Amino acid sequence: MDNLELTSYIKEEARALGFDLVGIAPAGPFEETEARLLEHIEQGRIAGLAWFTKERATFASDPANLLPGVRSIISLGISYLQDSPDLADSGNPRGRVARYAWGQDYHEVLKAKMQALFDKIKTCTGAEEARLLVDTARIVDRAVAQRAGLGFFGKNTNLINKKLGSYFFVAEILTDLELEYDAPAHGTCGRCTRCIDACPTEAIIAPGTVYNDRCISFLTIELKGSIPPELRPGMGEWIFGCDICQEVCPYNKKATPGNHAEFAPADFEDTAPDLLGWLRLTEQEETFRQKFRGTPLSRPKRAGLRRNIAVALGNRAEPSTLPDLQEALENETDPVVREHLEWAISRLNSRQRAEGRGQ
């Protein structure tokens, strides 16, 4: 097979394995990316992720650090958007879970698909060496995907594909094979600023610049310990991740859902969970593990999820939830969760006092 035939074969096989997007980029250093990352770190915009150091940023900006002799990067994208039903009122307040976390852990799903693709490539080329990467932060997934033509950077920093919107994961295979390259993607948000205006914690401080430690995604998933009290009201009912800057995006309003079974929830009720039900469910380590095994929701651990549920209940501040919150507080031993439950109770009490004064 010549380069052109091999490139077409890889793209066909990638699509057959379920990838919605595939593009090939040359593997030279990402100099602009490095400059942006270093500036990001210097300005304190990635605070909270201890592993995100200048050394790592520099390493991540040259694919040859991961695979000496690398020539091409096969960039892959897969939609996680699902058609979803309107949920009936459950009686209890509901929380919200970001769409990317509705189904199975995407790292595992994508790794398996990439391995299957590389096995095919190996069979027909004899290629031995490759690196299969997804979300490792040892390479900047979005910068690679933009270079390979998968999408352009939105002002909310997400990569946008004109057909799929931004609800898609990206991953890549580094290889020493010589392939035919795609052109980088270009696109624009125009004068739209909906994501910047809608972000409830003002995490998007300028087009293309997100302050990590203000982002609800970081606060609910990555942050260990206490959530800064001044950011809690903005978190609304999000208990895992946040989709607001994507939900308001015009490109997502007309996006075609991938409806891949792996990213569909086992139960649609869990996409907007009954907060009191989940407060009870997460009381025991064993029930927590059974329920969330193999899903992204196991990441913040039981205490992290309970902490987030407490914030969401505090934001709803519904008087009917007070007995459950008090009972949870009596039985809770984790000091961080206790403090968030106390915060939720104090929000309920202030609301009741305010309503009492208004009568």
Q: Give the residues lining the site for ligand SF4 (CB under 6 A).
A: 154-156, 189, 192-195, 199, 201, 203-204, 210, 215-217, 242, 244-245, 248-251
Please report which helix (H) or strand (E) contains residue 125, including its range.
helix 106-125
Minimum distance, C-beta of residue 144 to ligand SF4, in the bound complex (Å): 19
The two beta strands, 130-133 and 168-175, are: antiparallel
80 contact, one of ligand B12, ligand SF4, none, CB 5-8 Å limit per kind? none
Reduced DSSP (H G I as helix, E B as strand, rest coil) percent helix, strand, coil of the chain, to 5: 50, 10, 40
| Residue 209: other Cβ atoms inside 10 A | 17
Active site residue 243: no
Residue nearer to ligand SF4 on the CB measure, 250 or 323: 250
Minimum distance, C-beta of residue 249 to ligand SF4, in the bound complex (Å): 3
Spatial distance between the Cα atoms of 196 and 182, rounded to a whole number of angstroms: 31
Spatial distance between the Cα atoms of 337 and 193, rounded to a whole number of angstroms: 36
Contacts of 137 (CB under 8 A, 6+ apart): 51, 52, 56, 60
Question: According to the binding rule CB under 6 A, does residue 170 interact with ligand B12?
Answer: yes
Spatial distance between the Cα atoms of 108 and 262, rounded to a whole number of angstroms: 10
| Total number of residues that touch ligand B12 (CB under 6 A) | 38
The two beta strands, 96-97 and 159-160, are: unpaired
Per the DSSP assignment, residues forming a β-bridge with 153 are: 159
Residue nearer to ligand B12 on the CB measure, 114 or 215: 215
Spatial distance between the Cα atoms of 251 and 242, rounded to a whole number of angstroms: 17
194 contact, one of ligand B12, ligand SF4, none, CB 5-8 Å limit per kind? ligand SF4
71 contact, one of ligand SF4, ligand B12, none, CB 5-8 Å limit per kind? none
Residue pair 329/345 in contact by the 8 Å Cβ criterion: yes
Per the structure block, which two tokens stand in for 99?
A: 């769409």
Residue nearer to ligand SF4 on the CB measure, 99 or 147: 99
| Residue 120: other Cβ atoms inside 10 A | 17
248 contact, one of ligand SF4, ligand B12, none, CB 5-8 Å limit per kind? ligand SF4
Which residue in the set 17, 40, 268, 342 belongs to the binding site for ligand B12 (CB under 6 A)? 40
Spot the catalytic one: 135, 176, 274, 324: 135
303 contact, one of ligand SF4, ligand B12, none, CB 5-8 Å limit per kind? none
Spatial distance between the Cα atoms of 157 and 280, rounded to a whole number of angstroms: 36
Minimum distance, C-beta of residue 318 to ligand SF4, in the bound complex (Å): 23
Residue nearer to ligand SF4 on the CB measure, 73 or 245: 245
Report the first-to-last Cα separation within the chain, whole angstroms: 80
Minimum distance, C-beta of residue 284 to ligand SF4, in the bound complex (Å): 30
Residue pair 123/284 in contact by the 8 Å Cβ criterion: no
Residue nearer to ligand SF4 on the CB measure, 110 or 231: 231
244 contact, one of ligand SF4, ligand B12, none, CB 5-8 Å limit per kind? ligand SF4
Residue nearest to ligand B12 (CB): 208
Residue nearer to ligand B12 on the CB measure, 114 or 245: 245
Question: According to the binding rule CB under 6 A, does residue 73 interact with ligand B12?
Answer: no
* Tokens 């087009």 -> residue: 207
Spatial distance between the Cα atoms of 173 and 313, rounded to a whole number of angstroms: 42
The set of catalytic residues is 135
Sites of contact with ligand B12 (CB under 6 A): 33, 36-37, 40, 46, 49, 98, 100, 134-137, 140-143, 153, 156-159, 166, 168-171, 207-208, 210, 212, 215, 217-218, 222, 241-243, 245
